[in-house]
Chain A
Amino acid sequence: MKILIVIIFAFLVCQANAFRPILLLGNQNLIERTCKQTPFYDLCIWSLKSNPESRDASVKKLAQIMVDSLKTKATETLDLIDELLQDGLALDPEMQKALTSCAERYNVIIRGDVPEINEALKTGDYKFAAKGANDAAIEANSCEIEFPTKSPLTDMNKVVHDVSVVAASIVKIIQTKFSF
Chain B
Amino acid sequence: MADINPLLPVSSSDGSSNLTGQATCRRPIKVVVSIFFGLLTVGLFAALLIRNNGPVDYVDVHENERGSLASTAFEKAENLKPVSRGPAAGVSEKSNWAFGGDLPDYPWNNSMLSWQRTAFHFQPEKNWMNDPNGPLFYKGWYHFFYQYNPNAPVWGDIVWGHAVSKDLIHWLHLPLAMVADQWYDKNGVWTGSATILHDGKIVMLYTGSTTEGVQVQNLAYPADQNDPLLVHWVKYPRNPVLVPPPGIGPNDFRDPTTAWLTSEGKWRITIGSKINKTGIALVYDTKDFINYEMLDGLLHAVPGTGMWECVDFFPVSETENNGLETSINGHGIKHVVKASLDDDRHDYYAIGTYNDRNGTWIPDRPNIDVGIGLRYDYGIYYAAKTFYDQNKKRRVLWGWIGESDSEAADVKKGWASVQSIPRTILFDKKTGTHLLQWPVEEIDSLRLKSKEFNQVRIQAGSVVPLDIDSATQLDIIAEFKIDSDALDKATGSSDASFDCVTSGGAAERGALGPFGLLVLADERLSEQTPVYFYMTKGSDGNLKTFFCNDQSRSSKASDVDKHIYGSLVPVLRGENLSIRILVDHSIIESFGQGGRTVITSRVYPTKAIHGAAKVFLFNNATELNVTASLKTWQMNSAFIQPYPNL
| Residues of chain A at the chain B interface (Cβ within 8 Å) | 2-4, 6-11, 13-15, 17-19, 22, 29, 33, 36-39, 97, 101, 104-105, 107-108, 112-113, 115-116, 119-120, 122-128, 130-132, 134-135, 137-139, 141-142, 144-151, 154, 157-158, 161, 165, 168-169, 172-173, 175-180
Q: Give complex CA distance A161, B85 in Å.
A: 13
State which of B152-160, B322-330, B359-367, B508-516 sits at the interface with chain A: B152-160
State which of B247-255, B283-291, B422-430, B630-638 sits at the interface with chain A: B247-255
B60-97 to A contact mask, C-beta < 8 Å, 1/0:
01001011111100111110001101000000000000
B21-57 to A contact mask, C-beta < 8 Å, 1/0:
0000100100010011001100110010011001011
Pick from A13, A115, A122, A134: contact of B67, CB under 8 Å = A134
CB-based contact A119/B2 at 8 Å: no
CB-based contact B11/A10 at 8 Å: yes
Q: Give complex CA distance A148, B105 in Å.
A: 11
Shortest distance between the CB of A92 and any CB in chain B (Å): 14
B268-286 to A contact mask, C-beta < 8 Å, 1/0:
0000000011000000000
Can you sample 23 A-B contacts with CB below 8 Å?
A: A3-B18, A14-B2, A17-B4, A17-B8, A22-B51, A37-B61, A39-B61, A104-B408, A104-B412, A116-B155, A119-B157, A119-B187, A132-B154, A134-B64, A138-B85, A139-B406, A144-B76, A165-B61, A165-B70, A175-B306, A175-B307, A175-B343, A176-B277
Residues on A with beta carbons closer than 8 Å to the beta carbon of B50 = 22
Q: Is the interface of B mostly helix, strand, loop or mixed?
A: loop
Residues on B with beta carbons closer than 8 Å to the beta carbon of A144 = 74-77
Shortest distance between the CB of B495 and any CB in chain A (Å): 33
Q: Give complex CA distance A169, B617 in Å.
A: 42
Q: How many A-B residue pairs have CB under 8 A?
A: 212
B215 at the interface (CB under 8 A from A): yes
Q: Give complex CA distance A127, B250 in Å.
A: 16
Residues on B with beta carbons closer than 8 Å to the beta carbon of A134 = 64, 66-68
Q: Give complex CA distance A177, B47 in Å.
A: 25
Shortest distance between the CB of A96 and any CB in chain B (Å): 12
Residues on A with beta carbons closer than 8 Å to the beta carbon of B15 = 3, 6-7, 10
Pick from A39, A125, A139, A147: contact of B70, CB under 8 Å = A39
Asked if A127 meets B342 with Cβ closer than 8 Å, knowing A10-B12, A138-B406, A178-B276, the reply is yes
Q: Which residue of B lies closest to A133 (CB)?
A: B68
B382-412 to A contact mask, C-beta < 8 Å, 1/0:
0000000000000000000000001110011
Residues on A with beta carbons closer than 8 Å to the beta carbon of B276 = 178
Shortest distance between the CB of A112 and any CB in chain B (Å): 5
Q: Give complex CA distance A150, B47 in Å.
A: 52
Q: Which residue of A lies closest to B14 (CB)?
A: A6
Q: Give complex CA distance A9, B307 in Å.
A: 49
Residues on B with beta carbons closer than 8 Å to the beta carbon of A7 = 15, 32, 35-36, 39
Q: Give complex CA distance A126, B254 in Å.
A: 13
CB-based contact B43/A124 at 8 Å: no
Residues on B with beta carbons closer than 8 Å to the beta carbon of A145 = 75-77, 82-83, 558
CB-based contact A17/B406 at 8 Å: no
Pick from B2, B85, B250: contact of A180, CB under 8 Å = B250
